[in-house]
A and B are shown apart, each in its own frame.
Chain A
Amino acid sequence: MSKTIIPFGPQHPVLPEPIHVSLTVEDEIVTEAVPAFGYVHRGLEKLAEKKDFNQMIQVVERVCGICSMIHAMCYCEGLETLMNVEVPRRAKLLRVIWSELHRIHSHLLWLGLYADAFGFESVFMQFWKIRERIMDINEATAGNRVIVSVNQVGGVRRDLSPSQLKWILDEITVVEKEMKSMESTMLNDYTVKKRTVGIGVLTREMAYELGASGPVLRASGIAQDMRQLKYEAFDELDFEPVVEQDGDCYARGVIRFRETMQSIDIVRQAISRLPQGDTFVKVKGKPEGEIVTRVEQPRGECLYYIKANKTKFLDRLRIRTPTFANIPPLAAMLPGIELADVPVVILSIDPCISCTER
């Protein structure tokens, strides 16, 4: 059978974002996949020379709108260490609450898109309906649905009142209930399994060697989660990384489903431990030195390298985002699968192209 080259993207119905993959296919089987990038590249790291380090918070939030809060948290954490600022406990827990809410909404968003990738439109609609509750919480507590912008160097900008906390607890209980009602469809349905079990397998060794991160890594049986680093308030919160062994698309779905439940639990814990006190400290001076900070984003491990030289502008800001790490595993997963499964496999790493290219 002769070879055919099929271009996939940049504008494709299942892809919310532009990425281009040229697929070489023989019959229906993909033999080679070469990704191409650059459709979203903005040169954002370079903006650190034009905007001062406080303004950069707003910029790093827009590396990726979906995990914006966590990007800013990672960045602020780095600067706080450089400037020797001790963030109040309450601010730390508030950060955890918002970041876990972001994780929930990101995973719900993914579960929906994923269902859409194999044509299960009603599940897509259901998950996005559940997600709107989280968006409402974001809007009510921070003033914006997606980019909440609550971080500042030295703490958080907003506080949660007791009545808001109670309302959040009520809402996430409803979210939990609605998730439970989706569980059998997402995890046991025959058609879902047919499209995902055994597709795009990444073995444990491959995942480790190719540097996969986040749910992709954990779906292959490696329990590594940056929240184990105990950043912010994770030292007093109770949680275990979610692990699955199979490494296929189904396992990645299960991971994200279970992580959503886990995040709901973490939000509850954080709310129950929220102490009274300030939400930020005044920060004086300019940062100096270099530092690497890492946090766990919905898509995996995110690394920030910050180098500052005691001026308003940072010397260098480098962002290694989770999808950047997950592209090589994807390139290794694609050969050997059927053409019809390509959208499912690409979505199963939860690609965030604006993260990758910044």
Chain B
Amino acid sequence: MLKKLIEKSQIKSPWIVHYDCGSCNGCDIETLACLTPLYDVERFGVLNIGNPKHADVLLVTGTVNHRNKKVLKNIYDQMSDPKLIIAIGACGLSGGIFKEAYNVVGGVDKVIPVDVYVPGCPAKPEAIIDGVVEGLAKLGELQQQNKTDAIAS
């Protein structure tokens, strides 16, 4: 019963943790802008929290560099399954304009698996919200998969 409740609420009210890799702040503040009155994602039940252990969705902005890839991996490992990873902005997708810089590894998917890509430089708040909503469908699938995996094993 409790499991069902958790599953349902994970879709209806996803909790979000935001981590900024080497972002230029452009995507960063757009992500924050989603929380503020004009866009107000809380009306969809989306809640921003600081603790990765409580979160269902990880938003990553910016390029990955050699130092923060460890931090990113760490945050990813701390989150409990099923989890949804969303990469935001051209930087998060591929490295964007900084791709050729010497300290840049590339997109987020070089380090952790990414479920949803939100393009734009910076990505608009509408696009980010859209990305999260798209991702929730995938989260539902992941839940199903986890269940079948559990039965199989």
Q: Is B110 an interface residue (CB 8 A)?
A: no
CB distance from A125 to the nearest CB of B (A): 5
- Segment with Cβ contacts to A, from B6-14, B31-39, B130-138, B139-147: B31-39
**Residues of A close to B32: CB separation below 8 A:** 16, 128
Cβ of B38 to closest chain A Cβ, rounded Å? 5
Interface pair A59/B38, CB less than 8 Å apart: no
Query: A65 near B104 (CB under 8 angstroms)?
Result: no
B68 adjacent to A39 (CB under 8 Å): yes
Measured between beta carbons, the chain B residues less than 8 angstroms from A44 are: 98, 101
Known contacts A17-B20, A39-B65, A43-B101; A132/B38 CB under 8 A: yes
Instruction: Check if B124 sits within 8 Å of A145, measured CB to CB.
Output: yes
Identify whether the interface residues of A are mostly helix, strand, loop, or mixed: loop
Taken residue by residue from 94 to 106, chain B's Cβ proximity to chain A (1 for < 8 Å, 0 otherwise) reads as 0001101111100
A337 at the interface (CB under 8 A from B): no
Which A residues are in CB contact (< 8 Å) with B103?
Answer: 41-43
- The residues in A between 11 and 33 inclusive whose CB is less than 8 angstroms from any CB of B are 11-13, 16-18
CB-based nearest A residue for B22: A40
- Choose one: B27, B38, B50, B52; the contact of A65 (CB below 8 Å): B27
Residue from B26, B27, B71, B121 whose CB has the most chain A CB atoms within 10 Å:
B26
Whether B24 contacts A128 by the Cβ 8 Å rule is no
Interface hits, A101-136 → B, CB 8 Å: 109, 112, 124-125, 128-129, 132, 135
Cβ A46 vs Cβ B102 within 8 A: yes
**A289 at the A/B interface (Cβ < 8 Å)?**
no
Q: Is the C-beta of A58 less than 8 angstroms from some C-beta in chain B?
A: yes
Give chain A's interface residue range (CB within 8 Å of chain B): 35 or more
Q: For the complex, give the distance between the alpha carbons of A8 and B50 in Å.
A: 13
Nearest Cβ on chain A to B88's Cβ, whole angstroms:
12
Give the nearest-CB partner of B50 in chain A. Answer: A13
Q: Are A43 and B24 in contact (CB under 8 A)?
A: no
State A68–B121 Cα separation when bound (angstroms): 12
Chain B: residues with Cβ within 8 Å of the partner, total of: 38
| B102 and A43 within 8 A (CB) | yes
B100 to chain A, nearest CB (A): 5
Given the known inter-chain contacts A12-B50, A18-B71, please indicate yes or no for A62 contacting B26, CB distance below 8 A.
yes
Min C-beta distance of B93 to chain A, whole Å: 15
Whether B47 sits at the interface, judged by CB under 8 Å, is no
Q: Does A201 reach chain B (CB closer than 8 Å)?
A: no
A64 and B24 contact, Cβ closer than 8 Å, known pairs A43-B101, A50-B100, A128-B36: yes
Q: Which of B28, B29, B37, B71 contacts A11 (CB 8 A)?
A: B71
B100: nearest chain-A partner, CB-CB? A50
**Chain B residue with minimal CB distance to A132?**
B38
Beyond A64-B24, A65-B122, A147-B122, whether A10 also contacts B71 by CB under 8 A is yes
In the assembled complex, which residues on chain A have CB atoms less than 8 Å from the CB atom of B20? 16-18, 40
Contact of B101 among A42, A124, A354 (CB under 8 A): A42
Across the interface, which residues of A come within 8 angstroms of B29, CB to CB? Answer: 16, 65-66, 109, 146
Asked whether A39 and B24 contact (CB < 8 A) given A44-B101, A65-B122, the answer is no
Could you tell me if A129 and B65 are in contact, using CB atoms closer than 8 angstroms?
no
Residues of A close to B19: CB separation below 8 A: 11, 18
Known: A16-B28, A39-B71, A62-B24. 10 other contacts (CB 8 A): A12-B50, A16-B32, A18-B71, A42-B98, A46-B101, A64-B25, A65-B23, A65-B24, A68-B24, A128-B32
